[in-house]
Copies of this chain bind each other. A is one copy, B any other.
Amino acid sequence: MPAAAQALLRTLVDAGVDVCFTNPGTSEMHFVAALDAEPRMRAVLTLFEGVATGAADGYARMSGRPAATLLHLGCGLGNGLANLHNARKARVPLLNIVGDHAAGHAQYDTPLQSDIETVARNVSGWLRRSASSASLCGDALEALAAARSAPGQVATLILPADVSWGEAAEAADARRPSAPAPAPAPAVSEDLVREVARALGAGRRAALLLGGRALREPLLRLAARIAARTGARLLGEVFPARMQRGAGLPVVERLAYLPELAAVQLAELDELVLLDAREPVSFFAYPGKAARLLPPGCRVRALAEAPCDLHEALERLVRQLDAGSAPPLLQAAARPPRPRGALNARKVCQALGHLLPEDAIVVDEAQTSGVMLPAFTAGAPAHDLLALTGGAIGQGLPLALGAAVACPGRPVIALVGDGAAMYTPQALWSMAREGARVIAVVFNNRAYSILELELQRVGAGRARGRARAQFDLARPELDFVRLAEGMGVSARRAATAPEFLAALEHALAHPGPHLIEAVVPRAYAGLKLRLLPRLLAALDRLPPGMARAVKRGVAP
């Protein structure tokens, strides 16, 4: 009879989980040993658990399928927690396998003993400690069914060492009746579809706010037909898990992170219909400012919230509105010219728009440096955009690793702030090990630049020396080229636009991981928040393209 760990691996692979992002320890050794007996399982070693969990998230966003993680007890899970939080907010399917001590060992309260369940509960829609080797494979199938239940969630299976090393009768068969199937998504009521159709057809100023699955085909195009037919605007949530955009795809105006700008985007609405999205609120609370961003009197209706069948509801809505033949507003192909001169964050985004290859995957964790990214890549060839769903920075590089494992034929470009890159730099090593086709662009502005902005926003006054030092990453300067090379990733530094273009062209021409350190000034260094209202008031006097860009959350 095989060891239970072997049966578990066979069960997972038979059920379609054939990638596992790992950082194992002693209690996971039987799982590791079983890799020799199950060559269909690809185990991607990471040096830090946050890389494993973020990569599993990126894998799921791009493949639609869950990867497993292999984590070492409560502390390994803790290290992976921030990116599991992001994955939870992205509502992706993901299976954590968390090793634990053998059942009888807990009583001794040895050093690594901790309460795994309590930590896991935070991020897991499904959680179980496997009670026996005999039930392990069934537990795994239940976990997978839960992970895959619409729209997707994190499932955590705690695997005690003795369950792992015990004997299983056989691997569970994912096709047998005993293997639970994910529950079908419930239908949206006909009344609600009719109500939304009436609201959109009433001639009021309306918008559809797209989130989750609605930002991807085929739902995206259905929404665009409805918009074309009714005159409603198409808005996108601030931080999408995965958004399809670019030339030939419907034009969606993503909401800005800055509440002042998002409020401008939403100012004239009477009706907002949510498609797998939530009512827009500010990311943080600020003293004396409302969190809700919609104008008073704007009516909000959710057409379908998870886990409802949004696709089918949208098809009904299209029929009711007779929008099936309405031509959606599609993005025209357009690229900005090559940037010149000294480098700044805007020119990095411009260079990216100039060179972005077909079918790229763009991971955006660029914070303040990425504000011009949407505008400059809008007309680039069709691509996927993956954003920071849960606000826990340190996601960009792991997400890119996972996306590259899911889509080995597609170029992945990760735009990451210097601060963000330093939470999970270990992802670079796994990229090199896997030959992942990732180009990591690190904006080195030598600051937690977004915090300089936030300090103004929370009304905490003007930071002087000691407070200001908390945003300062210049003492000492981080050298991302050395960091990347130290982990086996080829790297270049760019301080001018031509250098950046050359480095990006080189990286695109040579598949495999690359890092480009873009040395840039702080994007908001000159921005005075108190000037924002005046700026917004001046929008109508700006050239239309620039005004649109600002309204989309692209700061000046």
Contacts and interface: CB of A to CB of B under 8 A. Distances in A.
Q: Classify chain A: how many residues form its interface, as a range.
A: 35 or more
Given A467-B35, A467-B36, A470-B45, A101 B486 contact: no
B32 A284 contact: no
Contact of A111 (B30, B75, B89): B89
Contacts of A278: 109
A75 B391 contact: yes
Interface string A260-297: 00000000000000000010011111010001100000
Contacts of A34: 467
A519 B488 CA distance: 17
Interface string A462-475: 01111101101101
A466 B353 CA distance: 40
* This protein's copies in its complex: 2
Interface stretch (A78-86, A186-194, A324-332, A502-510): A78-86
B458 A161 contact: yes
Interface string A182-221: 0000000000000000000000000000000000000000
Given A24-B470, A74-B85, A165-B287, A32 B455 contact: yes
A43 B112 contact: no
A478 B82 contact: no
A392 B116 CA distance: 13
A488 B482 contact: no
B451 A33 contact: no
A487 B169 CA distance: 52
Nearest to A455: B29
A428 to B, nearest CB: 10
A162 to B, nearest CB: 7
A51 B477 CA distance: 18
A443 interface: no
A423 interface: yes
Interface in A417-453: 419, 422-423, 425-426, 429, 432-433, 451
Contacts of A481: 486
Contact of A118 (B5, B35, B122, B433): B122
Contacts of A483: 482-483, 486-487
A79 B394 CA distance: 10
Contacts of A162: 285, 287
B488 A75 contact: no
Given A85-B78, A165-B458, A476-B432, A47 B422 contact: yes
A459 interface: yes
A319 interface: no
Nearest to A292: B108
A85 B114 contact: yes
A408 interface: no
A479 B111 CA distance: 31
A460 interface: yes
A22 interface: yes
A394 B23 CA distance: 13
A194 to B, nearest CB: 29
B469 A488 contact: no
A479 B50 CA distance: 21
Given A75-B390, A79-B50, A460-B33, A105 B284 contact: yes
Interface in A380-401: 388-392, 394
Given A75-B392, A82-B75, A470-B22, A283 B33 contact: no
A291 B466 contact: no
A89 B73 CA distance: 15
B35 A470 contact: yes
Contacts of A470: 22, 24, 32, 35, 43, 45
Given A29-B454, A419-B47, A459 B165 contact: yes
Interface of A: 3, 5, 22, 24-27, 29-30, 32-36, 39, 43, 45, 47-48, 50, 74-76, 78-79, 81-82, 85, 89, 101-102, 104-105, 108-112, 114-115, 118-119, 121-123, 161-162, 165, 239, 278, 281-285, 287, 291-292, 388-392, 394, 419, 422-423, 425-426, 429, 432-433, 451, 454-455, 457-461, 463-467, 469-470, 472-473, 475-483, 485-488
12 contacts: A24-B451, A29-B460, A32-B451, A33-B461, A36-B466, A43-B469, A104-B291, A105-B291, A161-B458, A422-B426, A476-B488, A482-B482
Given A433-B475, A476-B487, 6 more contacts: A24-B451, A25-B451, A29-B458, A102-B285, A105-B284, A118-B122
Task: Give the top 7 A-B pairs by smallest Cβ distance, nearest first.
Answer: A476-B488, A78-B81, A482-B486, A75-B392, A33-B460, A102-B285, A483-B486
